[in-house]
Structure 1
Amino acid sequence: MSAAAEVGVVREGLPDWLVPVRDVAESVEPGQLSRFLPPAEGGRRSAVLVLFGEQPGRGPDLLLIERARQLRSHAGQPSFPGGALDPEDGDPKGEGRIRAALREAREETGLDPAGVQVFGVLPDLYIPVSDFVVTPVLGWWHTPVPVGPVDEGEVAEVFRVPVAQLADPANRARLRHPSGFRGPAFLVDGHVVWGFTAGVIDRLLHHAGWEQPWDGAREVELGDASVFASREEQERARALMRGGGEGG
């Protein structure tokens, strides 16, 4: 997608269930989404595509990827498609963010950007550990196509998660990282979604009115660094979440 490509935000024509998310984008303040806000200067500009779709029998869903384990940054972590802005994307504080999100999603998953309606842009957020200033770009996947890892050296898996599963209290907990980080986590389709991605999902569920009461005292512990290094750790996390967490 070249810098000359026409992109923009189109707010009308969404399914009714998605209107609350559009309203969040138009009213939410950065501090309502995260305590990690961009520095006044610096930070590496990036964008992610928060892509909502809908499937028969499964309802509304989100498109996520699992990053390859050999990557230097956020290895093995489920996340939104996205990445750093390139010069070809254009204005890093304007439409370049939308171009980057769509371009990265295409490069990572094979997504066709022509089938996506961008309906909102959330405030810029910050990931201190990687110094990324991240713009979440909201999209409606009105014409889905088959997707999957384009380069398995970068993306291990592409999957769609029903919003109902994300909102289900049985699939929710707080994750405890060895670094001291604590934040929301979701156990869905065999994946533990945490970190920046889980934080954005958590706040969207809350502000869109989709959140259900859940046990915020339930905790799981990430075994080492930034990934679950083994299936055994994943199974342990699932058991903890189903059992109410340590000391739950």
Structure 2
Amino acid sequence: MTPARPQWLDTLVDRLGTTPAHYYSRFLPPQEGAGRRAGVLVLVGPRDGDGTDHEILLTERAHGMRSHAGQVAFPGGSVDPGDRDVVDAALREAHEEVGLDRTSVEVLATVPELYMPHRDFGVTPVVGWWREPHPLTAGDPREVASVLRAPVSELVDPANRFTVTHPNGYRGPAFEVDGLLVWGFTAGILSKLLDLAGLAEPWDVSRLEELPEQMWR
């Protein structure tokens, strides 16, 4: 039996259609377009049999990577020449990274393309429903350290939310899930989507924590 989508996910999809790109980030792609494009998968799935909790798929990047080592991110990556579009890229990368069967995913919507100016990257989050959950495992250990199926109940718990600060002056929303820090682009998107879905609870934005030095790069 295919699990039913939660009402809040339908609410989120409806609101995505009317929410402008600048709601998510002040960095938008230049008129001539980003130098590179990527798609990341925001996959929501059932966590229990009674539908009271759900989960969002995340990955912990390998600790030996040259950039963003050990950081938590959505599965996804650059659009390759063989990809039809950013949705295709997100699904392909999720399969390569954690073994996700693309036929188990119902693609629901996309967030407007956002921009990472320091990398000249245009990134499109792809929101999907995991209608046929199955076991996942990290693919190449040189890229993915672990698979994280983050409970939505933990993501919205105010005790797990705070503002992270970086020596370069950056500050933004962050989460602690299963002992891992979620920050940066991933945390920013999660925070905005939880707000749009009507799930977010009031949390202490004045609670500041410094970003660990090993995550500066």
The answer, yes or no, to whether TM exceeds 0.5 is yes
For residue 71 of structure 1, what is the aligned residue in structure 2? 65
Q: Is the 8 A contact 1:77 1:227 kept in 2?
A: no
Residue in structure 2 matched with residue 52 of structure 1 by the alignment: 44
The 1:213/1:15 distance shift into structure 2, 3 A limit, reads closer
Which residue number in structure 2 is paired with residue 39 of structure 1?
A: 30
Shift of 1:227: 5.6
Q: Does 1:116 align with 2:105?
A: yes
> Are 2:203 and 1:214 aligned?
yes
Which of 119, 134, 147 matches 1:158? Answer: 147
C-alpha separation between the residues in 2 aligned to 1:168 and 1:32? Answer: 23
Secondary structure in structure 2 of the residue aligned to 1:72: coil
Aligned partner of 2:8: which letter? Answer: W
Contact 1:173 1:185 in 2 (8 A): yes
What is the CA–CA distance in structure 1 between the aligned matches of 2:216 and 2:104, rounded to whole Å? 32
Deviates more, 1:176-185 or 1:190-199: 176-185
TM-superposition CA deviations, 1:151-200 (whole Å, max 9, x none): 00000010101111111110000000122111100011111000000000
SS at 1:135 equivalent? strand
Determine the structure 1 residue equivalent to 2:184.
195
The residue that corresponds to 1:106 in the other structure is 95
SS class of match (1:36): coil
Using the alignment, how far apart are the partners of 1:128 and 1:183 within structure 2?
A: 17
Contact 1:73-1:130 within 8 A present in 2 as well: no
Distance in 2 (alpha carbons) for counterparts of 1:177 and 1:22: 32
Deviation, structure 1 residue 130: 2.4
Superposed CA RMSD: 1.6
Q: Contact 1:50–1:80 (CA<8 Å) still a contact in 2?
A: yes
Which deviations, in whole Å up to 9, do the C-alpha atoms of 1:11-31 show, x marking residues without a partner? xx7442311121122111101
CA contact (8 A) 1:24 1:204 kept: no
| Alpha-carbon distance, 1:226 to partner | 2.6
Match of 2:133 in 1: 144
SS in 2 for 1:206: helix
Cα gap change, 1:207/1:16 in structure 2, threshold over 3 Å: closer, same or farther? closer
Q: Does structure 1 residue 22 correspond to structure 2 residue 16? A: no
Equivalence for 1:125 = 114
- Aligned partners of 2:38, 2:214: CA distance in 1, in Å? 23
Q: Is the 8 A contact 1:149 1:155 kept in 2?
A: yes
Please give the secondary structure, in 1, of the residue aligned with 2:167. Answer: coil
Shift of 1:208: 1.5
Cα contact 1:178–1:225 (8 A) shared by 2? no
Q: Is the CA contact 2:11–2:197 (under 8 Å) kept in the aligned structure 1?
A: yes
Distance 2:13 2:25 in 1: 18
User: In structure 2, what is the Cα distance between the partners aligned to 1:155 and 1:88?
Assistant: 23
Shift of 1:225: 5.5
Tell me the percent identity: 51
Say if 1:65 and 1:157, in contact at 8 Å, map to a contact too.
yes
Work out which of the two has the higher radius of gyration on C-alpha atoms and give 1 or 2.
1
Q: Distance in 2 between matches of 1:225 and 1:31?
A: 30
